[in-house]
Amino acid sequence: MKPIRLISGFLTVGMWTMLSRILGFARDILIAGFLGAGPVAEAFLVAFSLPNMFRRFFAEGAFNTAFIPLFSKKLETGDEPEQFARDAFSGLATLLIGFSLLAQLFMPFLVLAMASGFAGDERFDLAVTFGRIAFGYILFISLAALLSGVLNAAGRFAAAAAAPVLLNVILIMTLALAESGVLEGVVTIGALAALNIDGVHHGTMLVWGTLFAGIAQMVLVWIAAKRAGFHISPTWPRLTPDLKRLAVIAAPAMLAGGVVQINLLVGRQVASFFDGAIAWLSYADRLYQLPLGVVGIAVGVVLLPDLSRRLAAQDDDGARHALNRAGEVSLALTIPSAVALIVIPLPLVSVLFERGAFGPDDSAATALAVAIYGAGLPAFVLQKVLQPLYFAREDTRTPFRFAVVSMVVNAVVAVGGALVLGYIGAALGTTVAAWGMVALLSRGTASMGEVAQFDDRFHRRIWRITGAACGMGVVLLFAGWLLAPWLYAPTIRYVALAALVGIGIFSYFGIGHAIGAFRLAEFKQAMRRGG
């Protein structure tokens, strides 16, 4: 796989992820407008996070971390990759069906584990019922993640990257149906129908929409895999030597995934004791997930199979080049995003979310979390760059040990910070732990030789990229002050925010080009070839 294919993959995944994140914004804007930060919004966000948490634990985290390197090497050597994928698909499906049935039984305990602050109030019953409906999503989205891994390893990125768009399209359509009153009294069933809480119908429609979206995503990537020549259908599960090896590699990754989810649980537990905090942190998370998704996820998705195949072919020079260019491109796009989130969080939150049930106080609380998450954004992306160095070598134990240290740091900072700073301690813990994880991952690459080292070009450019981003931050502060009367006006604020973002983009690329942080021709060339 040539370097230009790597850049092409970044662009493909990045553009589809950008569309998904934009639609995700539209979805969350509608949820904020209809439900605000009230009990139904918080119950839905907890219920929605349950299958997504375990999905990262089983599929996109542990399972694919182990599956993609093994499958990539089988593709490189021609060692029956399709049969291996078919066995993995059947094994994962069997595991998830059993786990989903258990989750239905233990849903009240899962909700308490996520948000014990819900105990004794209306949010608890809402979250339990919503969680039971939404949890089936994990089966379909995890199988979709495995099929996406097959496509990514084969260099087919478009369908897998486009699948998340379906979720947001379906949830937006679901909200539109809910607002029209269609199916009211039919979808809202059981004890929920008797609750006199605004927005219950909208929340119920959303969880059913989540389940349907999981089915749609799985079907999309299954069809794409079939068209790519991979006929993967469920068979009777069997424990082959390859699956045993997959399980051995995946086990530490699953434990590491569990540690990551404990970090999320700590944050939600802290937030659940402050009214509205779960919603504030969720909306803040949506903002910093936009650049993280477009850049970090794109790098992680493309870099892991690329490194795996290069290392299998003993192409160390190519692997080092891929690592360096991935790091350079990702930080060139991430550092300015982080600066923007830190210096103009309130205009971003106010324009995007403040309407209906979401008021100025909610905007101020969410903006503070956005700024803190922004400080950790480069760390989240660097993790996506560094972790494939371990996973491509089938080393999942070392990242697990690092994740345990990160978990302890997160818990100490989040809980201790909550005692002094309130809900914002959860965001602070996430950011501090992310930088700690990067320090450990970077230190751990020392034994990997030159293939894991950043080259002179990377070191030369990274400081100039940082300087250009800081210059952009100064420009944004001044422009935000000038545009303030329009940024908070009811109608023109959208145009004012677009102008502010445009000023930031032009100033960053202008300063960066002038001081040699990058060459604009490189971006243009990559986009032409990527297309």
Q: What's the whole-number mean pLDDT along residues 429-442? A: 91
Looking at residue 496, its pLDDT comes to 93
pLDDT higher than 50, residue 331: yes
- For 334-348, the pLDDT digits (tens) are 999 999 999 999 999
pLDDT higher than 50, residue 46: yes
* Greater model confidence, 185 or 302: 302
**Angle of helix 39-55 relative to helix 107-114, nearest 10 degrees?**
100
The alpha carbon of 197 is separated from its chain's Cα centroid by a whole number of angstroms, namely 31
Bridge partners of residue 358, in order along the sequence: 355
Query: Which token pair is 67?
Result: 């599956």
Looking at residue 370, its pLDDT comes to 93
Q: What's the whole-number mean pLDDT along residues 200-229? A: 89
Exposed e or buried b per residue across 403-413, where buried means at least 16 C-beta atoms within 10 angstroms of its C-beta? beebbebbbeb
Given its phi and psi angles, is residue 276 left (phi above 0), alpha (psi -120 to 50 degrees) or beta? Answer: left
In contact, 337 and 18? CB cutoff 8 Å? no
Looking at residue 2, its pLDDT comes to 41
- For 78-131, the pLDDT digits (tens) are 778 888 888 888 888 898 899 899 999 999 998 888 778 788 777 888 888 899
Looking at residue 79, its pLDDT comes to 77
Percent of the chain with pLDDT over 90: 22
**How many angstroms separate the CA atoms of 417 and 396, rounded?**
31
3-state secondary structure of 421: helix
**How many angstroms separate the CA atoms of 496 and 487, rounded?**
5
pLDDT higher than 80, residue 166: yes
pLDDT higher than 50, residue 3: no
**How many angstroms separate the CA atoms of 322 and 1, rounded?**
10
Q: What's the whole-number mean pLDDT along residues 260-282? A: 76
* Greater model confidence, 221 or 530: 221
Looking at residue 466, its pLDDT comes to 94
DSSP string, 299-368: HHHHHHHHHHHHHHTT-HHHHHHHHHHHHHHHHHHHHHHHHHHHHSHHHHHHHHH-BTTB-HHHHHHHHH
* Among 250-254, 421-425, 507-511, the least confident range: 250-254
Place of tokens 């990559």: 526
- For 388-402, the pLDDT digits (tens) are 788 777 787 888 888
Looking at residue 531, its pLDDT comes to 37
3-state secondary structure of 375: helix
pTM: 0.69
- For 180-201, the pLDDT digits (tens) are 766 555 445 544 554 556 667 7
Number of alpha helices (DSSP H) and beta strands (DSSP E) in the chain? 21, 0
Looking at residue 302, its pLDDT comes to 67
- Alpha helices (H) along 230-315: 241-272, 277-291, 298-312
- Alpha helices (H) along 392-423: 397-421
pLDDT higher than 50, residue 529: no
Q: Name the residue type at position 149.
A: G
**How many angstroms separate the CA atoms of 526 and 523, rounded?**
5
pLDDT higher than 70, residue 264: no
pLDDT higher than 70, residue 447: yes
* Greater model confidence, 21 or 4: 21
Looking at residue 4, its pLDDT comes to 38
Query: Which token pair is 521?
Result: 């021709």
**How many angstroms separate the CA atoms of 311 and 386, rounded?**
15
In contact, 345 and 371? CB cutoff 8 Å? yes
- Band (256; pLDDT cuts 50, 70, 90): low
In contact, 150 and 75? CB cutoff 8 Å? no
Percent of the chain with pLDDT over 70: 85
Q: What is the mean pLDDT of the chain?
A: 82
pLDDT higher than 80, residue 420: yes
* Greater model confidence, 212 or 154: 212
